[in-house]
Structures are given as structure tokens and as C-alpha cells.
Amino acid sequence: MTVASAESRNGNYPGKGIGQAVGVAILGKGTVGTEVLRLIQEFSENLEHRIGGPLAVRGVAVSNVGKHKDAPEVQGIYLTDDATELINREDVDVVVEVIGGIDYPRKLVLAALQAGKSVVTANKALVAAHGSELADAANEAGVDLYYEAAVAAAIPVVGMLRRSLAGDQVQRISGIVNGTTNFILDAMASTGASYEDALAEATRLGYAEADPTADVEGHDAASKAAILASMGFHTRVTFDDVYCEGITKITAEDIAAAKKSNQTIKLLAICERLYDEDGNTTAVNARVHPTLVPNEHPLASVDQSYNAIFVEAEAAGRLMFYGNGAGGAPTASAVLGDLVGAARNKVHGGRAPAENPYADYKVVGFDEVPTRYHVNMTVDDRVGVLADLARNFADDGVSLSAVRQEESGDEAHLIVVTHKALERDLRAIVQRLEEHDAVKAINSVIRLDA
């Protein structure tokens, strides 16, 4: 195995020199990998000017060579099913990983970094689960690790956190980072469709996978939340640190109730600092869950399968980044942007800004975070019920910001909106309400974007 040079390990990063080719190995040739190859070939002259030397694709690793050998974009390119052999070639400088999954790509990416090759990956699950390990390996070898495409495809949010806001203090990041769930919720809001019907339409149009679990249960968004929190707060946050709740329980009735209150329901990834009374950061939290967003908020108008990330920083103020958050071409655009950066460093010398988890804040669970609840209950329609149920909140020191009752025969729908309180306290109140004699059903509990 090729080992990173002592010069790199000592902190000096000499370049290959202007005009020298940068060898590229591409691992994976699915939708994104194929598009990356096409863009490299189509824009080769422009890319050479931007980098200072040509990109030379040394090979493409696939699981089945026979399946891909006749594809026009790989004609004249070395095709192999031995990714490790390709990584370790002396003429490979940068490895692009677009395979997906965790365990096998982790092995390959670590091998590439340890061999002194810079890595570009679009693998959000890998970065969310093992980002710290990969960053340490990149630092040890003195090479670059890029992963802009791992969060919201072509939307340049990772680069923004890594470079543009490097001199600021990010306070909060909230965003729509999964196009499938946003399409489903938007379809429910615009047509009145049920969750099941909206999911079926998303599947028919190709927005949802045959197995949509990772999307609709929030796992995909949670991986991205872990990456955003790590970058924004200079603290290592993993997928396991992120509270995750999907959209499968959202009903057409929930959507209609949101409209009545001039709000819309979005699946948000939320990353935020927690402060003490003196305004000092005490911890950070990352979570994913359906959220009621006021219609006047910029995120409320993000429709169809689009993504948007809303960032609040101390000096820069409020910023929003919007665009296609998935798909072969947008993801390949982000991969190619990273590839240009990594290749430029190989030609001219130096490294990109690396992960810097210097702050090392405590990462707390959702129970410790203040939030707000919108509770929809079916209750007995009789005198004293409202006051009795309100006492359940008051007994725990939770005040109510709004109460609305809608009568329906012998029962009534009661909508209760709380002020801020700790998640654990609000959850405990709802559990007690479920056991209350006057409560027929807790129809839904949706948090508000506080």
C-alpha cells in the first residue's frame, strides 16, 4: 500500500505543479457516478483551466464489469471490479466514492486516505456514522476529505459552513433536507390527499424509492442533520445523536388543521445551540421531526421536492440556501465541485479547511431541549373538561398560548398549543392525557418551529 509522504505528515503539502495531470479513481457507476463521468468528459477543457492541470480518469470500479463495459462513457477507461487495486495505483491522486452504504465504502475510503489519496464522497450515511474517523485519517495523511454532495446535493451548504461562515458563530440551522418527504407533504397540502395516496404518487413519479423507509421515517434527514451540526458547531455529532421522527403518522386532518392556523407542516432537520442564563453555549442538539412552520417563514413556501436550509448566525444574520437537493445531475455537480477543489490542491499544493471539532460541546438528547407542542385531542363535550385538561399543563408549569375547540356531536376536537417547555415535560403531559377519562383519543402531536 502506498503511504502518505513524511512531508505531508509534517504539515507541508507541495503541489504536483501547473500542467500536471491529476489522476482520478471513481468508485461506483450508478446514476451519480455516470453523471460525474459525463461532466468530466463534457467540461474537460474548462476544468483543466480551473484546476491548473487536466483531470485524468484512471479507472472506474463497479461490482459487475460486464454490466457496464459497453456504456459509451467508459469507452477507453479502465473498468474493474477490484476497487482496492484501483485505489492503490500510483497514478491515482483523488478517489471519488459514489457507491452508497456504510461498511464497504468505509473500508475503501479509509484505505484511500491512508494511501495518501484525497477523497470526495457523496455518502451521507457514511459521513454521519464515521465522519470523525475519516477526518482523523485525512488529517493524519495530510490529504483532503470533501463531502458537499452528502447534504442537499448541489446546494452549497457544507462549503458555506466550512468556509464562508468560518469567522462567524452559527446559532441555529433548520432545513428541509429530504425531497421525497417534502413532495409528499406538499402534495397532501395542495390536493388534500392522504399520506398513503401522496406516497403512491411520489413513487409513481420516481421521487420515492421502492422501499421509502429511509426517507419517510426521517433517517436520511437525520444523517444530514448530524453533518450540519458537526460543521456548524465544531462538535462531533453522529447519526446516533440525532432524534428522528418521520412523517408516516401525518394525516390529511393534520394538514387541514395547520392551514386553519396559517401554518404548514414540514419535515425539518433542526440543529441548535442551548444557552445558559448568561448567553453561554452549554450544549448542542440535532433532531428531525414534522414541524409546524408559520406561512410567513421562508421554509413554508418550499414546495415539491426542493430542499432549503435556513441558517442563523450571530454576525451574518438569517441566510437561506435553496435548490435541488437530490438527483443525479445536482449531486454530480456538487461532487465535481469538490473534485475541482481537491484536484486544485494536488496541483498547487495545500489543503482545504479540515473538520475542526475544537468546541467539543456536550451533545444532549431531545428530552433536554425546549420546544412547543400542538396537540389535537378528541374529548367529551361536557362542562369542565377544558379546565380540567388545562390543569394538566399548569401542574407541570407549562402555559398555553392557544386553545381551540370544535364541536362534533357528543365529542369535541380540542386543539392545544403550548408555550416553550422541555420536551420531556411535554411528552409526560401527553402521556397523562392519554389516560384521562375525558380524552377519547390523542389524534396528533406536532411540534412548532419555536
pLDDT tens-digit map of 394-419: 888 899 998 888 776 677 888 899 99
Q: Give residue 282's pLDDT.
A: 96
pLDDT the model gives residue 408? 67
84 annotated ligand-binding residue = no
pLDDT at res. 110: 98
Does 33 appear as a known binding residue? yes
Q: Are residues 219 and 199 in the same domain?
A: yes
Query: Mapping DSSP to helix (H, G, I), strand (E, B) and coil, where does residue 432 land?
Result: helix
Q: Are residues 14 and 132 in the same domain?
A: yes
Amino acid, single-letter form, for residue 442: I
Instruction: Tell me what pLDDT residue 395 has.
Output: 85
DSSP state, residue 326: S
Is the residue at 360 inside a domain? no
Is 209 marked as a binding-site residue?
A: yes
Residues 181-194: tens digit of each pLDDT: 999 999 999 999 99
Establish if 357 belongs to a structural domain. Answer: no
The residues near 291 (Cβ < 8 Å, ≥ 6 apart) are 265, 266, 267, 268, 270, 446, 447, 448, 449
Rounded to the nearest integer, the mean pLDDT of the chain is 93
Q: Which three cell numbers stand for residue 441?
A: 383519543
Percent of the chain whose pLDDT exceeds 90: 82
Q: Which three cell numbers stand for residue 145?
A: 476529505
CB 125 within 8 A of CB 223: yes
Determine the pLDDT at residue 13: 76
Shared domain check, 280 and 188? yes
Phi-psi region of 406 (alpha: psi -120 to 50; beta: other; left: phi over 0): beta
Q: How confident is the model at residue 1 (pLDDT cuts 50, 70, 90)?
A: very low
Query: Exposure pattern of 76-94 as b/e (b: 16+ CB <10 Å)?
Result: eeebeeebeebbbbeebbb
**Is residue 259 annotated as involved in ligand binding?**
no
16 in catalytic set: no
Whether residue 47 is annotated as binding a ligand: the answer is: no
Q: Is the pLDDT assigned to residue 446 strictly greater than 70?
A: yes
Q: For residue range 339-360, what is the model confidence (pLDDT) as tens digits? A: 999 999 999 999 998 888 999 9
Residue 435 lies in a domain: yes
Answer yes or no: is 180 within a domain. Answer: yes
Active-site residue among 67, 69, 107, 224?
Answer: 224
Q: Is 204 helix (H, G, I), strand (E, B) or coil?
A: helix
- The CA dihedral of 210, 26, 308, 448, to the nearest 10 degrees, is 60
Radius of gyration from C-alpha coordinates of the chain = 25
CATH number at residue 30: 3.40.50.720
Given a contact cutoff of 8 angstroms between Cβ atoms, the answer to whether 5 and 14 are in contact is no
- Residue 396 located in a structural domain: yes
* 383 vs 117, higher pLDDT: 117
Whether residue 99 lies inside any domain: the answer is yes
pLDDT tops 90 at residue 51? yes
Residues 307 and 179 in one domain: yes
Whether the pLDDT of residue 296 is over 90: the answer is yes
Confidence of residue 243 (pLDDT cuts 50, 70, 90): very high
Specify whether 261 is located in the same domain as 319: yes
Tell me how many domains the chain contains: 3
Full residue range of the structural domain in which residue 53 is found: 3-153+328-348
Q: How large is the average pLDDT for residues 305-332?
A: 94
Q: What pLDDT does 8 receive?
A: 44
Do residues 347 and 51 lie in contact, with contact meaning Cβ atoms separated by under 8 Å?
A: yes
Using the predicted structure, report yes or no on whether residue 5 has a pLDDT greater than 50. no
Query: Binding site annotation covers 31?
Result: yes
Residue 441's DSSP bridge partners are: 378
Which pLDDT does position 409 carry in this prediction? 66
- State whether 375 and 230 are in the same domain: no
Q: Which residues are 7's β-sheet partners?
A: none
User: CA–CA separation, 83 vs 61, rounded Å?
Assistant: 5
Give the pLDDT band of residue 4 (cuts 50, 70, 90): very low
Co-location of 112 and 221 in the same domain: no
Same domain? For 198 and 278 the reply is: yes
Q: Are residues 319 and 335 in the same domain?
A: no
Residues 228, 159: Cα–Cα separation, whole Å: 11
User: Are 94 and 220 found together in one domain?
Assistant: no
For residues 212 and 298, what is the distance between their CA atoms, to the nearest angstrom? 27
Confirm or deny that 30 is annotated as ligand binding: yes
| 81 & 58 share domain | yes
Measure the CA angle with vertex 64, ends 61 and 65; round to 5°. 70
Residue 364 is assigned to a structural domain of this protein: no
Residue 11 is predicted with a pLDDT of 54
Q: Are strands 263-275 and 170-176 parallel, antiparallel or unpaired?
A: antiparallel
Q: Is the pLDDT of residue 9 over 50?
A: no
Residue 124, annotated as binding a ligand = yes
**pLDDT the model gives residue 7:** 44
User: Residues near 393 by Cβ (< 8 Å), separated by ≥ 6?
Assistant: 399, 400, 416, 418, 429
- Cα separation, 287 vs 294, whole angstroms: 19
- Interval 21-38 mean pLDDT: 96
Cα–Cα distances (Å) from 233 to 131, 313, 318, in that order, read 15, 11, 16
* Shared domain check, 168 and 117: no
